Structure 1
């Protein structure tokens, strides 16, 4: 191990820990330096010296004629990627919910404004969407269950606005679980926010039809992907990754997707991810003309459609990222009581923390009680996920009354 001043730190070096930082700073980082922005961030946080492991250094000098610049060796084997957000202090569900609610509302308003601007012939300001994505990612790193819960409490009349916000939240959680670099997560989250922007150019009679589309209408609906691609190709500042996920979120591994009919290795990792996320959110969505499926049903559909449509490895990783019963899911316990899932227990995907509030058999509300289903003294367990409409429960009203106000 070797201690060096921060000014000697270069891309390709592997940080073991912080050796010295200014008073008041409390960073705890470890990993491979892959971007000069990471070094700048450490300096801005008051780090003055770091401990590196020369054995894990992944930098080799170029030929003498290249002015002493550096090139990176293949970095795929690095055990940890340095992330400022990974050192962010985690918050409780109660602490994060208020911020999550505000973020969610702001993201919906941004979508509404973007749709209006496009309709009026104006261009999109990508910076606004990047800032929105950054806020979502920050919340995810503090406590992902808060925004995940918000994404499940749907407004059946706001699918167009909420869907892209939910996909951005889910993509951020998915990419975080896969330990992707922050810059990549930000581009994925931004692309997800914009992936359905082309729907504003689909005729209202098709877009908002309260029922099954005809073959001709479905052809028109499919064009929204091309519209999104064309809009974003003309948008200044859009990244290649953001454009990729927007243009290819309906492509499928067997080549039966659209609009280009890409298959197999023609579909990037990022587009494979958003295909899973987009489908999951669409299946679970409550709409004016149909009830959403439970999260468990949606996950089973994704598994059943693998490997023909979806990457089976990524589907299983997605399930691990959000849990079998994601926060915001309504479940029935063995006791016949109904509960809202609040938080995942990382060690047990089937035993989350829940808030019990309704008796499914006697059909009446109960005084809300929080239960950790991993607790040995808890004599209850999840029987199944259920639909709130089956019990005539206004889940959004309950959430607002007992979750956001307490």
Structure 2
């Protein structure tokens, strides 16, 4: 599959939006309709490359094509997202051979107010549009053809995890205790790919969705906890339970007043007292969920019980909390430190590790912090760095895990110009040779680089 850029995704979304607006006014043969659809077919073909299908849709309000998300959409993209969500569509598969006629029919259904979310798929089939299908094939999540786009696999799993956490929390918001089957299905995929390659999902934990913080934070903690557990060599059953605990660690926030939960600044003492209830509330919820192991509820209860037992809930400080809980605590701490808040700038990954070292032995288990640092490397995944060639690169694999595969993605050349097509390289070459060495970390904000989009691409 070809490298898909944000410009590609934005152009495709704008062409889709233009088509939706014009299909009810003009016939397919009219240039106002035909021209954007022909361009869209050509653009999709380029994005497919040698693959046979293209996946697009909406995840947590963000439009995506394959692994490329538009986290800062323009008006046309926002309108397309609204159209898709109105029809209950969160994912679409476009197959090779798609024609302007196919896309015309699809756009017409999106524009037709009489077509509901319940009837959309039926109408699509009735029109005989076989090259556009709602949803994404299971193989996107790693269960299909051998060699299917590797970059697509983690993006699909990340999207599924977000949806599972979001829908689980919304079920609780609506007064229902959901089954753990959906979460368990997502966890099975996450554990499987992590056991094959420990760093597969690690880069995705650097994605920060500030509009859906609770959901994205939960998934990020799940990924970080799972990766650390795999790095420690724990068995598959333990990986399942730790990953589940990470995904559900903040589920008790569904029981916290939304004005407190969404407060833009630091909480008052009274508000913080209320917020602290989320750990015990979450534990009680998890205990009631079917097919969720007891160890998960324990980790949810104790993830704010500090290593020196000065955390909360206060009544649980003398309880025994094992390795699972302390792993989730380390993951939770790292993601919180590296996340932008209205009262706190995001800390660069390398700086975050220095802060965690200061917390080792008090808030965090010191041995686990050392293992976490070894896993992340001197320059953790998601770090933007300057090489001694003066190029700017994004770390994709931590140093201890460098191998024959690329470990960094070069985004800017030595003259400071953004590369049209980023280059994947490994810093450690065969026979002891090196492509380059890292000189220093770089703040992505200063270079106007969207790290998340490159980690997903």
TM-score normalized by the length of structure 2: 0.62
Alignment partner for residue 417 of structure 2, among 340, 364, 373?
A: 364
Name the counterpart of 2:226.
Answer: 172
1:115: Cα distance to partner?
A: 1.5
Name the counterpart of 1:382.
Answer: 438
Contact 2:250 2:278 survives alignment (8 Å): yes
Name the counterpart of 1:276.
Answer: 330
The structure-2 alpha-carbon separation of the partners of 1:282 and 1:161, relative to structure 1 and needing over 3 Å to count, comes to same
Whole-angstrom distance in 1 between the partners of 2:248 and 2:150: 25
Establish whether residue 162 from structure 1 lines up as the match of residue 180 from structure 2: no
The structure-2 alpha-carbon separation of the partners of 1:115 and 1:140, relative to structure 1 and needing over 3 Å to count, comes to same
Whole-angstrom distance in 2 between the partners of 1:244 and 1:96: 35
Contact 1:337 1:358 survives alignment (8 Å): yes
Whole-angstrom distance in 2 between the partners of 1:240 and 1:177: 23
Contact 2:375 2:400 survives alignment (8 Å): no
Name the counterpart of 1:221.
Answer: 275
Whole-angstrom distance in 2 between the partners of 1:305 and 1:382: 26
Contact 1:254 1:264 survives alignment (8 Å): no
Name the counterpart of 1:111.
Answer: 165
The structure-2 alpha-carbon separation of the partners of 1:288 and 1:147, relative to structure 1 and needing over 3 Å to count, comes to farther
1:78-227 alignment to 2 at 5 Å? 95-227=149-281
Deviations 1:286-320 (A, max 9, x none): 34664321111121111111112222111111222
More displaced 10-residue stretch of structure 1: 175-184 or 338-347 = 338-347
Name the counterpart of 1:312.
Answer: 366
Name the counterpart of 1:334.
Answer: 388
Structure 2 residue matching 1:369: 3-state secondary structure: strand
Deviations 1:52-88 (A, max 9, x none): xxxxxxxxxxxxxxxxxxxxxxxxxxxxxxxxxxxx9
1:92: Cα distance to partner?
A: 12
1:398: Cα distance to partner?
A: 4.2
The structure-2 alpha-carbon separation of the partners of 1:335 and 1:265, relative to structure 1 and needing over 3 Å to count, comes to farther
Whole-angstrom distance in 1 between the partners of 2:340 and 2:210: 5
1:265: Cα distance to partner?
A: 8.4
Whole-angstrom distance in 2 between the partners of 1:385 and 1:244: 37
Whole-angstrom distance in 2 between the partners of 1:94 and 1:144: 19
Whole-angstrom distance in 1 between the partners of 2:441 and 2:148: 23
Structure 2 residue matching 1:319: 3-state secondary structure: helix
The structure-2 alpha-carbon separation of the partners of 1:188 and 1:397, relative to structure 1 and needing over 3 Å to count, comes to closer
Whole-angstrom distance in 2 between the partners of 1:347 and 1:264: 38
Deviations 1:237-277 (A, max 9, x none): 32121111111001112221111365688331221111111
Contact 1:168 1:188 survives alignment (8 Å): yes
**What value does the CA root-mean-square deviation take over the aligned residues?**
2.9
Structure 2 residue matching 1:293: 3-state secondary structure: coil
Residue-pair matches, total: 311
Name the counterpart of 2:450.
Answer: 394
Question: Which has more strand, going by share of residues?
Answer: 1
Whole-angstrom distance in 2 between the partners of 1:316 and 1:92: 36
TM-score normalized by the length of structure 1: 0.69
Whole-angstrom distance in 2 between the partners of 1:253 and 1:354: 34
Whole-angstrom distance in 1 between the partners of 2:265 and 2:413: 33
The structure-2 alpha-carbon separation of the partners of 1:232 and 1:327, relative to structure 1 and needing over 3 Å to count, comes to same
Alignment partner for residue 324 of structure 1, among 366, 370, 378?
A: 378
Contact 2:386 2:440 survives alignment (8 Å): yes
Whole-angstrom distance in 2 between the partners of 1:261 and 1:364: 56
The structure-2 alpha-carbon separation of the partners of 1:329 and 1:93, relative to structure 1 and needing over 3 Å to count, comes to farther
1:179: Cα distance to partner?
A: 1.7
Structure 2 residue matching 1:331: 3-state secondary structure: strand
The structure-2 alpha-carbon separation of the partners of 1:194 and 1:347, relative to structure 1 and needing over 3 Å to count, comes to closer
1:155: Cα distance to partner?
A: 2.3
Name the counterpart of 2:4.
Answer: none
Alignment partner for residue 355 of structure 1, among 402, 409, 412?
A: 409
The structure-2 alpha-carbon separation of the partners of 1:289 and 1:106, relative to structure 1 and needing over 3 Å to count, comes to farther
The structure-2 alpha-carbon separation of the partners of 1:261 and 1:252, relative to structure 1 and needing over 3 Å to count, comes to farther
